[in-house]
Amino acid sequence: MSNYYPVLVLIGLLISVISAYRKAPFYNYIGIQITIYGLLKSAALIMPPLPAQVIVMYVAMSLFAFLIYFSIREETFRAFLEPMRSVLADRDKKLQRVVLVFIAIPLFAGYITYAKVRPSYKPPVTGRIVHPEPPQEIDFRGKTISILGLENPLRKETDRLKDHLEAGKKIYYQNCFFCHGDDLDGRGLFEQAFNPPPLPFRGTDTIAQLPESFVFWRIAKGWKALPPGSHPWDSAMPSFEDFLTEDQIWQVILFIYEATGNKPRTWE
Amino acid sequence: MAGKDIKKGVIKGILKLSLILGCGFVLLFLLKSIVPGPTEDGYRFFPLIGSRVWVWIIAQLHLNFAAFVLGVPIFAVTMEFLGWRRTDERLDRIAYDFTKLFTLAYTLTAIMGAILMVSLPLLYPRFIGHMMKILGPTWWAYILFMYGEVFVCYYYFYSWHRMKERKGLHVLIGVLLNVMGGILLLVTSSWVGYMTTPGGVSETGELLNRWHAINTYMWIPLSLHRLFANVVFGAGIAAAYAAFRFITAATEDEKAYYDWMGYTSAMISIGFSLILPGIGYLLGVEIYSFNEQMGIQLMGGFYAWLWVMQAILIGAILFLVNYYLWISLNKMPGGERYFRYVKFLFIVVFLGYIIWLTPHSVALSLEEARRIGSYHPALGKLGVMASKNTAVIVSYMATFISFAIFRMSNKEPTVSWARAGHILRALIIVVSSVVVLGIGVYSYMVPSVTRVRVLSPIQFGIFFLAILALYILDSRMYKNARIIGEPRWGKMPERSQYALIGITVTFTWLMGMMGYMRSGGRMYWHVYGIMKDTSPDAYLPAHGVAAVIVTTVTLLFFFMIASVFWSVMKLEKFSEKRRSD
């Protein structure tokens, strides 16, 4: 379907260019909106599709912004309103008026109502929080660990850092790579089985945005500890406190940062 | 006679405040003896809507009025000072009009404050008991300064005409009024600061050091943020008042005056709003420094969606401000020369708006989640602080340029170096924008701490330096400039006035939502980490519920402020009638 959206972009552009040439701002406005919608939908050709919610936000913003643009100058705004005024008030536009007011608008309203109330078997859209808030402290195998201000203790052992990294690498390939991938890009063997898919560690927008204490909490507690806003059922991350020791978790954290070239978020 | 009027006015003000406070205390005393005692853990329950919603509505209404009566005097005095130094009657009139507004609004502020004063100890006796134990003396200081402020405020208003020949002294009284207002703001911010980022107490809530309980992480950044936001808000309300008077004006003279008043107020509002992102940033850093978990909760966790909403609303405000300035070019002789730049400014503000409202956390269907994964590559890049800070700075820069264009649109520079000046202006704009953009891109490649503590402040710094340089350059270049024609004040389409009203309504709503967020940062604590909220309301309401409450508060506030406007108009008519009789 997304293959056809570039055509919509072209149609919108054509309307816009002709309207600009004929000094018809209302139709230019329509053309611009079609172009923008087509562009947003066409993005799916080069990247994962934009979520519907984001498209709605962008389109609403564009409707608002361009309405403002076309009402800056008095003569442009008058020309912008002219088609609407003409259809609603001119004697010779009776047919268009009847079609628009008594057929098109009620039909459109009816369709919107129908679309809203028709039964759907799709699960509802849920808001996801990308950075769930961590607790102040956690219970790790009976030991209370304060997450606030927690630092990776192994980073201080500079003489043994290489050993820790090696151990972390081993732990990663024994436990994590099935989901998070051998290239740490979130494309492991089980990737296709999960929805949403496992996190990639590469790039600047996942672990690079997080302090190590946060990563420790996520690995130790997994999906069970996620707050309601992050929908625990949207994650398949196991609680690794059942399988790994505290030091082993820190070792694997060292490894994922080192292997991806990312640095943990720090405040000091 | 006039001296008697001043005395009568001041006594009236003091009596009014005493009466409202007295009624509050009596009501509190009566209600305490009538209603059943608190629960074991120290709560009473407000019927139907619950204690939290009741206190929320009253506190927000009180805060809105307080913001108005603290913000408006700052620029009323500034206007009076400028009017006095430049011997401009129009500036003096605008200052007087504003003074009328805030003097009348004091009564409503005090009534809301008194209702809050009754509600809090009645509904949350244990919590208020704790607050009095820790910060009790500040409450008495608050009462003292409130009386001081009311005294100075009424004196300032009623002595306006009497002290016409002693303007310097009158301006000084206005300054004193603002000092009082500033102290009140510091006191109230210390209470909120203590509740959110407490200090000076033991883990069990015993007082260790009162000064530390006052001087918390949040205290000064919150006070500064509130101070500037109050001016933005107060000026915004004044602009909305002017817009309303413009729309209902019967004569061309009135239209011209209120058009000018609306423009002046709106520009003060926007001018001060330039500082807000920087101070808001400082406040955020302080919250993170106090408690990282609270920072994440506010910025990236439960409240992440509110930042998207904030971006939408501030983006809309910026758009409306630019719109007002662009429309204003129509009334400037020579303004048409600058319309060709408007489309470029529009593109910059539009792109900035797109980036700013891009969410990081998104609502996804299961199918979308499957196809997109946890992070969308475009949203992951645009929905973070690095890009958003850059976008907001560039948008503000475009807004400043719109303002500069409006100011210079009816002038021709006569200095010999005008051409070089134009080139220099273009260079300042291009170079500063490129550097801000470059730093924005570089921000992606450095640790967060570098971005937050070094690069973002540099971006804001470059922006302020650039607008300062542009302001100085234009002042020099357009000194003794040839005036093509005077602005045709009053020749504005009505839609421009609705933009001013829209800005103020949006800002009021935004203030409410941000207040909900700031308060929600404490989660299930009355005093974070010290005193738990064990009432049935100890949960975070959904954003939708919060939006309904804040919308109700905004509507109530505008209904009440409309009554102030109406009173001012009635007063004017009454004075006119008395004069003509």
Is there a contact between B320 and A129 if contact means CB atoms under 8 Å apart? no
**Are B271 and B387 members of one domain?**
no
Return the pLDDT at B445: 77
**B311 inside domain:** no
> pLDDT band at B180, cuts 50/70/90?
very high
Return the pLDDT at B365: 78
Name beta bridge partners: B364.
A126
B375 to chain A nearest CA, in Å? Answer: 8
A18 to chain B nearest CA, in Å? Answer: 19
- Are B174 and B76 a contacting pair, CB within 8 Å? yes
Q: CA-to-CA distance for B26 and B33, rounded, in angstroms?
A: 11
Kindly state the helix (H) or strand (E) to which residue B143 belongs, with its residue range.
helix B125-158
Is there a contact between B346 and A69 if contact means CB atoms under 8 Å apart? yes
Is there a contact between B370 and A123 if contact means CB atoms under 8 Å apart? no
Does residue A165 register a pLDDT over 50? Answer: yes
Measure the N-to-C terminal CA separation of chain A; round to a whole number of Å.
49
**A127 inside domain:** no
- Are B283 and B221 a contacting pair, CB within 8 Å? yes
Q: Which residue has the tokens 């008043």?
A: B261
For residue A222, which amino acid is it?
G
**Are A141 and A253 members of one domain?**
yes
Average pLDDT, integer, range B86-92? 86
Single residue among A117, A148, A171 that ends a domain in this structure: A117
Residues in contact with A12: Cβ distance below 8 Å, sequence separation at least 6, in sequence order:
A31, A32, A33, A34, A35, A36, A37, A38
Cα-to-chain-centroid distance, residue B433: 27
Return the pLDDT at B2: 53
Return the pLDDT at B451: 80
Residues in contact with B97: Cβ distance below 8 Å, sequence separation at least 6, in sequence order:
B261, B568
Detail the DSSP E strand segments found in B278-344: none
**B95 inside domain:** yes
Residue of A51, A71, A204 lying closest to B368 (CB–CB) = A51
> A120-163: per-residue pLDDT in tens?
887 777 666 667 777 778 899 889 988 877 889 999 998 999 99
Where helices occur in chain A by DSSP H, the ranges are 5-21, 25-42, 52-69, 74-89, 94-97, 105-117, 161-171, 177-180, 212-221, 246-260
**Are A147 and A254 members of one domain?**
yes
Return the pLDDT at B101: 84
**Are B449 and B567 members of one domain?**
no
**Are B122 and B270 members of one domain?**
yes
Return the pLDDT at B1: 45
> pLDDT band at A228, cuts 50/70/90?
low
**Are B286 and B347 members of one domain?**
no
Q: CA-to-CA distance for B524 and B245, rounded, in angstroms?
A: 45
Single residue among B444, B466, B486 that ends a domain in this structure: B486
B451 to chain A nearest CA, in Å? Answer: 10
3-state SS class at A138: strand
**B385 inside domain:** yes
Q: Is B364 left (phi over 0), alpha (psi -120 to 50) or beta?
A: beta
B564 or B115, which is more confident?
Answer: B115
- Are B339 and B329 a contacting pair, CB within 8 Å? yes
Q: Looking at beta carbons, which residues of chain A come within 8 Å of B292?
A: 148-149, 211, 213, 267
Residue of B358, B369, B378 lying closest to A195 (CB–CB) = B369
Is there a contact between B300 and A130 if contact means CB atoms under 8 Å apart? yes
**Are B189 and B63 members of one domain?**
yes
**A9 inside domain:** yes
Question: What percentage of chain B reaches a pLDDT higher than 70?
Answer: 98
Residue of B319, B359, B369 lying closest to A65 (CB–CB) = B319
Task: Give CA torsion, residues A33, A35, A41, A42, to 10 deg.
Answer: -170
**Are B449 and B544 members of one domain?**
no
**Are A251 and A150 members of one domain?**
yes
**Are A113 and A155 members of one domain?**
no
Is there a contact between A48 and B376 if contact means CB atoms under 8 Å apart? yes
- Backbone phi, psi, residue B14, to 5°: -65, -45
CATH number for A245: 1.10.760
Is there a contact between B368 and A49 if contact means CB atoms under 8 Å apart? yes
Q: CA-to-CA distance for B20 and B170, rounded, in angstroms?
A: 28
B108 to chain A nearest CA, in Å? Answer: 35
Kindly give the pairing relationship between strand A143-146 and strand B531-532. unpaired
Q: CA-to-CA distance for B131 and B526, rounded, in angstroms?
A: 10
Residue of B288, B301, B379 lying closest to A229 (CB–CB) = B301
Name beta bridge partners: A146.
A137
- Are B475 and B406 a contacting pair, CB within 8 Å? no
Range of the domain at B452: 333-486
Is there a contact between A49 and B289 if contact means CB atoms under 8 Å apart? no
- Backbone phi, psi, residue A146, to 5°: -80, 120
> A177-193: per-residue pLDDT in tens?
999 999 998 889 998 88
Q: Looking at beta carbons, which residues of chain A come within 8 Å of B301?
A: 129, 131-133, 227, 229
Q: Which residue has the tokens 């239209």?
A: B255
**Are A201 and A87 members of one domain?**
no
Q: Looking at beta carbons, which residues of chain B come within 8 Å of A206?
A: 374-375
Does residue A242 register a pLDDT over 70? Answer: yes
Return the pLDDT at A59: 96
Q: Looking at beta carbons, which residues of chain A come within 8 Å of B319?
A: 64-65, 68
Q: CA-to-CA distance for A132 and B297, rounded, in angstroms?
A: 7
> B342-377: per-residue pLDDT in tens?
999 999 999 999 998 888 777 777 778 777 776 777
> pLDDT band at A233, cuts 50/70/90?
low
**B184 inside domain:** yes
Q: Give the A:B interface size as CB pairs under 8 Å.
A: 175
> A78-120: per-residue pLDDT in tens?
999 999 999 999 999 999 999 999 999 999 999 999 998 998 8
B367 to chain A nearest CA, in Å? Answer: 8
Q: What is the total count of domains within chain B?
A: 2
For an interface test with B, which of A41, A66, A68, A268 has the most B Cβ atoms less than 10 Å from its Cβ?
A68
Return the pLDDT at B374: 64
Residues in contact with B521: Cβ distance below 8 Å, sequence separation at least 6, in sequence order:
B196, B287, B294, B297, B298, B303, B528
Average pLDDT, integer, range A13-24? 96
The Cα-based distances of B380 to A203, B369, B437 in angstroms read 10, 14, 18
Sign of CA dihedral B321, B322, B325, B330: negative
Other Cβ atoms within 10 Å of A47 Cβ, number = 12
**Are B548 and B422 members of one domain?**
no
Does residue B235 register a pLDDT over 50? Answer: yes
Residue of A47, A197, A265 lying closest to B374 (CB–CB) = A197
Tokens of B57: 């509505």
> B521-572: per-residue pLDDT in tens?
888 889 998 999 999 888 888 888 999 999 999 999 999 999 888 888 888 8
Q: If you ran DSSP here, which 8-state letter would residue A195 be given? A: S
**A157 inside domain:** yes
Residue of B296, B367, B372 lying closest to A134 (CB–CB) = B296
**B319 inside domain:** no
**B425 inside domain:** yes
Does residue A268 register a pLDDT over 70? Answer: no
Detail the DSSP E strand segments found in B243-388: 363-364
Q: Looking at beta carbons, which residues of chain A come within 8 Å of B370?
A: 195-197
Average pLDDT, integer, range A24-28? 96
A66 to chain B nearest CA, in Å? Answer: 9
Residue of B nearest to A72 (CA): B327
Residue of B291, B323, B445 lying closest to A68 (CB–CB) = B323
**Are B381 and B279 members of one domain?**
no
**A43 inside domain:** yes
Does residue B142 register a pLDDT over 70? Answer: yes
**B328 inside domain:** no
**Are B221 and B359 members of one domain?**
no
Longest Cα–Cα distance of chain A, Å, equals 90
Tokens of B32: 């305490």
**Are B368 and B471 members of one domain?**
yes
Own/partner pairs, B165-172, CB within 8 angstroms, 24+ separation? B167/B80, B167/B84, B168/B84, B170/B80, B171/B77, B171/B80, B171/B81, B171/B84
Q: If you ran DSSP here, which 8-state letter would residue A103 be given? A: I
- Are A219 and A249 a contacting pair, CB within 8 Å? yes
**Are B95 and B237 members of one domain?**
yes
Residue of A51, A77, A204 lying closest to B364 (CB–CB) = A51
Tokens of B257: 């005056």
> pLDDT band at A231, cuts 50/70/90?
low
Q: What is the total count of domains within chain A?
A: 2
**A210 inside domain:** yes
**Are A106 and A21 members of one domain?**
yes
**Are A250 and A141 members of one domain?**
yes
Single residue among B430, B458, B486 that ends a domain in this structure: B486
Residue of B297, B375, B447 lying closest to A133 (CB–CB) = B297
Return the pLDDT at A133: 72
Residue of B nearest to A194 (CA): B370
**A126 inside domain:** no
For an interface test with B, which of A39, A50, A205 has the most B Cβ atoms less than 10 Å from its Cβ?
A205
A20 to chain B nearest CA, in Å? Answer: 14
Is there a contact between A127 and B363 if contact means CB atoms under 8 Å apart? yes
Range of the domain at A159: 137-260
User: Is the ipTM here above 0.85?
Assistant: no
Name beta bridge partners: B551.
none
Helix B456-477 crosses helix B418-443 at what angle (to 10 degrees)? 170
Return the pLDDT at A26: 96
Q: Looking at beta carbons, which residues of chain B come within 8 Å of A131?
A: 296, 299-301, 304, 360-361
- Are B152 and B180 a contacting pair, CB within 8 Å? yes
DSSP string, A51-75: PHHHHHHHHHHHHHHHHHHTTSSHH
Buried b (16+ CB within 10 A) or exposed e, B490-527: bebeeebbebbbbbbbbbbbbbbbbbbbbbbbbbebbb
> pLDDT band at B282, cuts 50/70/90?
confident
**A241 inside domain:** yes
Is there a contact between A73 and B367 if contact means CB atoms under 8 Å apart? no
> B313-350: per-residue pLDDT in tens?
988 998 999 999 999 999 999 998 999 999 999 999 99
- Are B396 and A221 a contacting pair, CB within 8 Å? no
**Are A63 and A148 members of one domain?**
no
**B309 inside domain:** no
Is there a contact between A130 and B375 if contact means CB atoms under 8 Å apart? yes
What is the pLDDT of chain B when averaged over all its residues? 89
- Could you tell me the pTM of the whole model? 0.85
Single residue among B432, B465, B486 that ends a domain in this structure: B486
**Are A112 and A143 members of one domain?**
no
**Are B533 and B414 members of one domain?**
no
